[in-house]
Structure 1
Amino acid sequence: MAVEGIQEPTKRRLHAEMRWRLKEYRTLLTQAIRRDEMVIEGIQEPTKHRLYAEMRW
């Protein structure tokens, strides 16, 4: 029984979020390169595997 207004995210929604997060990361990376910061400390590109693992949580 679902609480009103709260839905379990669909697979389609999770995939959309995954693509959005990858795009966001790439945007951050290109901005960093423009500032000549080749290394962003503490930020790793999320791999597909890691994102799928997160989706299963």
Structure 2
Amino acid sequence: MFDEELENIRREIGARLRARRKEVGLRQCEVAQALGHTSSSRINQIELGRMRLYAEELP
């Protein structure tokens, strides 16, 4: 049960991140660069709900 809830939360956060990113006109690689990542794959995985977004990355 807990794993399913966590999965749903990750998907919701990912969807919200994707919506906001598109709303402000950014590409995944631009978000990744702003967070100090070398590629957009982490952002892609977060948006798909497969990877956790850490609190430090939220601002």
TM-score by length of 2: 0.51
RMSD of aligned Cα (Å): 2.3
Whether 2:5 is the aligned partner of 1:16: answer yes
The sequence identity of aligned pairs, in percent, is: 10
| Structure 2: 5+ residue stretches without partners | 33-41, 52-59
Whether 2:37 is the aligned partner of 1:29: answer no
Runs of 4+ residues deviating >6 angstroms: none
Which one scores higher on RCO, CA 8 angstroms, separation ≥ 6? 2
Name the one with the larger helix percent. 2
| Structure 1: 5+ residue stretches without partners | 1-11, 52-57
